[in-house]
Structure 1
Amino acid sequence: MTIRFHEVTKRYGKEEALDHINLELQPGKIYGLLGPNGSGKSTTLKLITGLVYPNQGNITVLGEEVTRKTCKQVAYLTELDMFYEAFTVEKILSFYASQFPDFDIGKAKLLIQELKLEPQKKVRRLSKGNRGRLKLVLTLARNTPVILLDEPFSGLDAMVRESMVTSLLRYIDFSKQTVIIATHEINEVESLLDEVLAIYNGHIVGHEHVETLREEYGLSVLDWFKMKMEEKGV
């Protein structure tokens, strides 16, 4: 397995973000992590990267307990936008290539073309949609076993979201990579997902194969998620 959570609890002060989570994620799959704001989605991703550590339990990535060393196995698209504003798109690619040995500059340039980004344009002149595209390029161009996408479509218009979904399908190596997409934009990601997890109030309240939902229960991912939230009184 690629990622394993065993009895993981994470607190921020007195607030419990995750409560005794158990989870096993396999290679070669795209997982949707769905939940309302404050449910624990971002905390789950940060724990996998080693940006924060659990108060109880343990997390392994590729069989190793999460440390700053294992974070090299993870490409993480965060909601935050942390670019050097004076850099051009092309210079951002070169900078990432200098920082990450696994960064595939050839793949990045193909993605830049596909997502219609101008290499010589400075970051400060990019629209919000194009900044979102650039973040996706920088994440997908890393050849890591784990890819984490935290709200990759937040605030983007439908055309931008559609182009990003197309790129996700084309540039992920399904034989090697495990992808987790944390989002509340459920309709956009449904076509991508192999399995879906519902998280609420720090607990995993559902975990299903998307194919099973469709073929055995006749449910879309959105219908299933709404059902899980209704069970919790949301």
Structure 2
Amino acid sequence: MTTRRVSTEDLTKKYLGKPALNGVSIDLNEPGIVGLVGPNGSGKSTLLKIIAGLLKPSKGKVLVMNQVPDRLISKETAYLSEVDSLYDYQKAGEAVTFFSRMYPEFSPEKAKEMLRELEIDLNDKIKHLSKGNRARVKLALTLARDVPLLLLDEPLSGLDPIVREEILNMIIRYTNIENQMTILSTHEVAEVEPFLDHILFMKEGRILLSENVETLRETQGKSVVEAMREVLK
């Protein structure tokens, strides 16, 4: 049986009767970087939470690695929330130890290598770190997990341009593009386009575009931004 990393069919999620997702159907199998792009409030975070097994859909089907996702799917999936959930009382090194106890597939050596490269001392208290350094620590802890699917919810949000560039470079350098799929949500389309293998464009809870980026460029002669403008006409 073919392993489908992420597959949804007519996926709908409602909050107080109002749809956050409206009939989302996607089929993603290939490793690489998937850009989940769209304006704020388009349903990106809701979709990632359902894929991560943190939310249940109101209707429709979702499979991750051929399984219906629940909290146990975390063995196959690493999820980076937009919300900062680091513990202020911990040191950076203690956060690494905490993750190594939580997740068997976590590599403390890889996490420490990233933190060294980012010039974050393992003895630095989380509560004393800048917003940019907290974002770096969050990402390092996520990327140090050897899982087939990485879900990164707005990892660039609220960061200055230098930190955003560094975050993108970390994702490229430390993900295994031959074996891992990374779904990265953002509204910074032009900034992430050079790194993308596949594009999912959302608006008002619907997928308006799902396409291989190379196909867009070579067969249609369009950039991601141009293709998005086309579907919005």
Alignment TM class, shorter chain as reference: over 0.9
- Give the counterpart of 1:176 among 167, 176, 179: 179
Q: CA contact under 8 A between 2:31 and 2:181: conserved in structure 1?
A: yes
1:64 — aligned with what?
67
Identity across matched positions, percent: 41
1:106 — aligned with what?
109
1:39 — aligned with what?
42
TM-score scaled by length of structure 2: 0.94
- Partners of 1:27 and 1:138 lie apart in 2 by 24
2:125 — aligned with what?
122
CA offsets 1:3-57 (integer angstroms, 9 cap, x no match): 1101111111111011111110113121101111111100000000111101111
In the TM superposition, what is the alpha-carbon distance from 1:147 to its structure 2 partner? Answer: 0.2
Change (3 A) 1:208 1:27: closer
- Partners of 2:107 and 2:96 lie apart in 1 by 9
2:152 — aligned with what?
149
In the TM superposition, what is the alpha-carbon distance from 1:84 to its structure 2 partner? Answer: 1.2
In the TM superposition, what is the alpha-carbon distance from 1:123 to its structure 2 partner? Answer: 0.6
Instruction: Give the residue type in structure 2 aligned to 1:90.
Output: G
Gaps of 5+ in 1: none
RMSD between aligned alpha carbons? Answer: 1.3
1:212 and 2:215 aligned: yes
Q: CA contact under 8 A between 1:7 and 1:58: conserved in structure 2?
A: yes
- Partners of 2:211 and 2:30 lie apart in 1 by 16
* 3-state SS of paired residue (1:163): helix
Please list, as runs of the form range in 1=range in 2, the aligned pairs for 1:1-12 lying within 5 A after superposition: 1-12=4-15
Q: CA contact under 8 A between 2:92 and 2:126: conserved in structure 1?
A: yes
* 3-state SS of paired residue (1:10): strand
Q: CA contact under 8 A between 1:165 and 1:188: conserved in structure 2?
A: no
2:193 — aligned with what?
190
Moved more, 157-166 or 141-150: 157-166
Instruction: Give the residue type in structure 1 aligned to 2:132.
Output: G
- Partners of 1:84 and 1:193 lie apart in 2 by 32
